[in-house]
Amino acid sequence: MIVYAVFGDPIEHSLSPVMHNAAFKAMGLDAIYHAFRVTTSRLGDALRGAESMGFGGLNLTIPLKEAAMSLVEPDETARAIGAVNTISFLGGMKGHNTDGAGASMALRHYGVSVNGSRVLLIGAGGAARAIAYQLSQEGAEIVITNRTSEKGSALAEDFGLSFGDFSEIEKLVKSSDIVINATSVGMHEKDPRLFDGRIISKEQVVFDIIYNRETELLRDAKKAGAKAIDGVMMLVYQGAAAFRIWTGLEEPIDVMEGAVRSALNRNE
Ligand code: ATR
């Protein structure tokens, strides 16, 4: 039996165990995936422990993704993003980041290609960073905007992207083909809107990385007749990319999606 795990703090609500255990079962693998609460100060010990015990691989989540950078050998993508969400133990402790690939594959899943598209990316946290890196590799014309300008412009500068002031978000939305919400806004029912959704047009694609509920942004996008994509498939594909790194096998996407949707009670 090979053990895989996700480390984070808090970790109780992680959907990774449900998703990966369903994948292992569907593939007939003798493996199990468990969530462990690990604090930043114990991350080094926990990583060494997992390696010593022969774990097959790990995922990391908040607040460990950045802290892991100095504890593992990050690959080129993880280095560019500055964060690690996946670790493999095949010849050392290798750090990967599959968040950006997850976002890109989710867009592709819904028939969206970003090459040559004008993308407005809202946010400057870890998720926004991963998406900015990946989509700029794929030829998107990205404009970053963020509530805190300094963080947004620093991210834009890191990847040579444009920055637009958050006070002009509606103008920025109107002049883009794809709008991506990479902030935490919309996770809770009472969250305010980032902008007046009535300005969305039906030619646009709106991708919201929030997956726990249908956000007001996505409802507005649907109302406008735009293509509305939620964060479920990004979660699934970042997990699928990790699965592939660990096992070398093609991941059972439908099974993983089904497991996540039923855990979320979102079978739409
Ligand atoms: P993650 O690593 O998951 O992306 P994070 O680093 O906490 O999370 O980043 C959260 C993002 O949501 C940030 O871009 C944050 O904007 P600030 O840089 O100004 O903090 C954004 N965010 C959170 N609450 C927001 C709100 N009410 N309005 C606009 N942006 C918000």
Looking at this protein, which amino acid is placed at residue 217?
L
Using a 6 Å cutoff on CB, does residue 109 contact ligand 1? no
257-261: average pLDDT: 97
In Å, how far are 18, 128, 151, 161, 230 from 125, measured between CA atoms? Answer: 26, 5, 8, 15, 18
pLDDT at 91: 87
pTM score of the predicted model: 0.95
Q: Ligand 1 mean position to 127 CA, how many Å? A: 10
- Which among 116, 184, 128 is positioned nearest to 159, based on CA atoms? 128
For 1-33, how does the pLDDT look when each residue is reduced to its tens digit (9 = 90+)? 999 999 999 999 999 999 999 999 999 999 999
For 106-142, how does the pLDDT look when each residue is reduced to its tens digit (9 = 90+)? 999 999 999 999 999 999 999 999 999 999 999 999 9
Q: Ligand 1 mean position to 165 CA, how many Å? A: 15
Task: Using the atom order of ligand 1, give the atom closest to the CA of residue 126.
Answer: 2
Residue 267 has pLDDT above 80, yes or no: no
For 67-98, how does the pLDDT look when each residue is reduced to its tens digit (9 = 90+)? 999 999 999 999 999 999 999 999 899 999 99
Q: Ligand 1 mean position to 78 CA, how many Å? A: 20
179-188: average pLDDT: 97
For 206-243, how does the pLDDT look when each residue is reduced to its tens digit (9 = 90+)? 999 999 999 999 999 999 999 999 999 999 999 999 99
Residue 248 has pLDDT above 80, yes or no: yes
Using a 6 Å cutoff on CB, does residue 87 contact ligand 1? no
Q: Ligand 1 mean position to 33 CA, how many Å? A: 29
Ligand 1 atom 21: residue of nearest CA: 183
- Which among 167, 164, 138, 142 is positioned nearest to 153, based on CA atoms? 164
Residue 251 has pLDDT above 80, yes or no: yes
In Å, how far are 24, 43, 89, 120, 188 from 180, measured between CA atoms? Answer: 31, 31, 33, 6, 18
pLDDT bracket for residue 268 (50, 70, 90): low
Using a 6 Å cutoff on CB, does residue 181 contact ligand 1? no
138-165: average pLDDT: 98
246-267: average pLDDT: 93
Token reading at 263: 């855990």
Strand pairing of 73-74 and 94-96? parallel
Using a 6 Å cutoff on CB, does residue 149 contact ligand 1? no
Ligand 1 atom 14: residue of nearest CA: 123
- Kindly list the catalytic residues: 65
Using a 6 Å cutoff on CB, does residue 126 contact ligand 1? yes
A 10 A CB-CB count for 92 gives 10
Using a 6 Å cutoff on CB, does residue 146 contact ligand 1? yes
Q: Ligand 1 mean position to 107 CA, how many Å? A: 22
Using a 6 Å cutoff on CB, does residue 147 contact ligand 1? yes
pLDDT bracket for residue 53 (50, 70, 90): very high
